[in-house]
Amino acid sequence: MLGCGVVGSEVAARLQSRAEALEERIGAPLVLTAVVVRDPDKERPGVDASVLTTDAEAAIDGADIVIELMGGIEPAKTLITRALAQGSSVVTANKALLAAAYGELMAAADDSEVRLEHEAAVAGAIPIIRPVGDSLAGDRIDRIMGIVNGTTNYILDQMDSQGWDFDAALASAQELGYAEADPTADIGGHDAAAKAAILSSLAFHAPVTIDDVHVEGITGITAEMVETAKDQGFVIKLLAVCERVTDSPAGAGLSARVYPALLPRTHPLASVHGAFNAVFVEAEAAGSLMFYGQGAGGAPTASAVLGDVVSVARRKVLGGRGQYERPFHPERRVLPISAITTRYHITLDVVDRPGVLAAVSEVFADEGASIELMRQTIGEVDDEGIQHAKLVLATHENTDAALSRTVDRLGDLDVVRAVASVIRAEGQ
């Protein structure tokens, strides 16, 4: 095993404490031969100190299974590549590495006819990788939409249920250990983007990397936006969306994107609270499926890792070809965000006077966009004695490019004091 942090310590302890039960399930004993760490003198309760080492290459050589829990790109990539080349199956929870080199590593596993399992890399203990790769292998997956970052879901849930502002909700997440001292990867959407890349690669058999994923975080979400969404029957969630696009201005392709979006409160994902994760899959024959559970933490992630270990160990005992046969289709390109079809909810601070609605409607007409719903409420009188109003607009479906241009032009109108918020809507 490479790495022995929170998850690694849990895995090592369970491998040793549950050795008899695991042997019964596999048909052969699992022997933990080495645990590669930086500091072998550090105390690790539940982990046999005699297997600790700093020599990663020596630990890998000859191993039937290598569990990689180091994280990061290097040296993890080099070590995994070495393990696969020598015929070792690999179990990893390394979302950053898979998001950068999924196709390359899968091809290496295929060449050596071994397994590269990664259930723990997306949504912790929630079984999503194996259902998508195996259970739905005979189906066509059209869309995956998920809450795959527990930190941001906790923050947005507290803003919605408790009325907190963003900073208060983030501080609570850090106090509870859901958010790191530097939460940028979570609140910036980058953690979710890595998972979106992995899910897209797996579901659509295409080499999607994190660089292909459009990413927007939640730092711009305000208490007022959350309250406005609630008034309209929506909740705001940070969503990872992966889908096949058959018709767009840029042609057919794939879309992989992460952004905060409005969900109707009747949608199954709207009921996902706290730091939990859920993934909603839409398949041609199976229809809609949802997978829900704890998305992070030492014990849940260790459960997913051990599930993969048992799977590859059984295959080792029984024999047969190792890796899935997953032909990748590099011609399946990922489309830019501008080409996707979406809906916007736009909140404008406008001057309350005749002609405002006509001016706004003219901009929509010019851009070929249309308004589905318009709601106006009287606002405050400013220091100049001018009466303001809040204008909330829900659009019909259109390309993101057309709606983005519409918003830009609305902001230039004399009657619009500010574009207070713009947020996409999903699940309708």
CA atoms within 13 A on the CB side of 297: 15
Locate 377 and state its tokens: 């409420």
Q: Is 17 exposed, middle or buried (0-12, 13-18, 19+ CB in 10 A)?
A: exposed
pLDDT of residue 137: 87
Q: Strand 35-36 vs strand 52-53: parallel, antiparallel, or unpaired? A: parallel
Q: Can you tell me the distance from the alpha carbon of 208 to that of 189, in angstroms, rounded to the nearest whole number?
A: 17
To the question of whether residue 7 is assigned a binding role by annotation, the answer is yes
Say if residue 74's pLDDT is above 70: yes
Locate 289 and state its tokens: 């499926």
| DSSP three-state, residue 417 | strand
Name which of 267-281, 309-323, 348-362 the model is least confident about. Answer: 309-323
Predicted confidence (pLDDT) per residue in 82-115, tens digit: 999 999 999 999 999 999 999 899 999 999 999 9
pLDDT of residue 123: 84
Distance separating the N- and C-terminal Cα atoms of the chain:
45
Predicted confidence (pLDDT) per residue in 166-204, tens digit: 999 999 999 998 998 999 999 999 999 999 999 999 999
Q: What are phi and psi of 6, to 5 degrees?
A: -60, -50
Say if residue 360's pLDDT is above 90: yes
To the question of whether residue 3 is assigned a binding role by annotation, the answer is yes
Q: Can you tell me the distance from the alpha carbon of 153 to that of 373, in angstroms, rounded to the nearest whole number?
A: 28
pLDDT of residue 72: 94
Which residues form the catalytic set? 195
Say if residue 224's pLDDT is above 90: yes
Say if residue 71's pLDDT is above 90: yes
Dihedral angle at the C-alpha atoms of 102, 193, 131, 324, nearest 10 degrees?
A: -10
Say if residue 127's pLDDT is above 70: yes
Q: What distance lies between CA 102 and its chain's CA centroid?
A: 15
Work out the number of other CB atoms within 10 angstroms of the CB of residue 201: 24
Say if residue 325's pLDDT is above 80: no
To the question of whether residue 27 is assigned a binding role by annotation, the answer is no
- Domains of the chain plus CATH, in order, are 6-120+298-318 (3.40.50.720), 141-294 (3.30.360.10), 341-425 (3.30.70.260)
- What is the percentage of the chain residues whose pLDDT exceeds 70? 97
Q: Can you tell me the distance from the alpha carbon of 181 to that of 177, in angstroms, rounded to the nearest whole number?
A: 9
pLDDT of residue 381: 81
Band of the pLDDT at 420, cuts 50, 70, 90?
very high
pTM score > 0.75 for this model?
A: yes
| DSSP three-state, residue 353 | coil
Bridge partners, residue 334, by sequence: 254
- For 170-238, the three-class secondary structure string (H helix, E strand, C coil) is HHHHHHCCCCCCCCHHHHCCHHHHHHHHHHHHHHHCCCCCHHHCEECCCCCCCHHHHHHHHHCCEEEEE
Say if residue 304's pLDDT is above 60: yes
To the question of whether residue 2 is assigned a binding role by annotation, the answer is yes
Say if residue 327's pLDDT is above 60: no
To the question of whether residue 317 is assigned a binding role by annotation, the answer is no
To the question of whether residue 390 is assigned a binding role by annotation, the answer is no
Of 217 and 333, more confident: 217
pLDDT of residue 300: 85
Band of the pLDDT at 382, cuts 50, 70, 90?
confident
Band of the pLDDT at 165, cuts 50, 70, 90?
very high
pLDDT of residue 326: 55
Q: Taking a C-beta distance cutoff of 8 angstroms, is the pair 284, 138 a contact?
A: no
To the question of whether residue 274 is assigned a binding role by annotation, the answer is no
| DSSP three-state, residue 420 | strand
pLDDT of residue 253: 94
Q: Can you tell me the distance from the alpha carbon of 94 to that of 188, in angstroms, rounded to the nearest whole number?
A: 19
Say if residue 322's pLDDT is above 70: no
Q: Can you tell me the distance from the alpha carbon of 236 to that of 216, in angstroms, rounded to the nearest whole number?
A: 13
Q: Can you tell me the distance from the alpha carbon of 12 to that of 31, in angstroms, rounded to the nearest whole number?
A: 10
Q: Taking a C-beta distance cutoff of 8 angstroms, is the pair 390, 376 a contact?
A: yes
Q: Which secondary structure element, helix H or strand E, spans residue 423, and what is its range?
A: strand 416-425
Mean pLDDT to the nearest integer, 262-277: 96
Q: Can you tell me the distance from the alpha carbon of 43 to that of 249, in angstroms, rounded to the nearest whole number?
A: 58
Mean pLDDT to the nearest integer, 331-342: 91
Q: Can you tell me the distance from the alpha carbon of 7 to that of 10, in angstroms, rounded to the nearest whole number?
A: 5
Mean pLDDT to the nearest integer, 415-427: 95
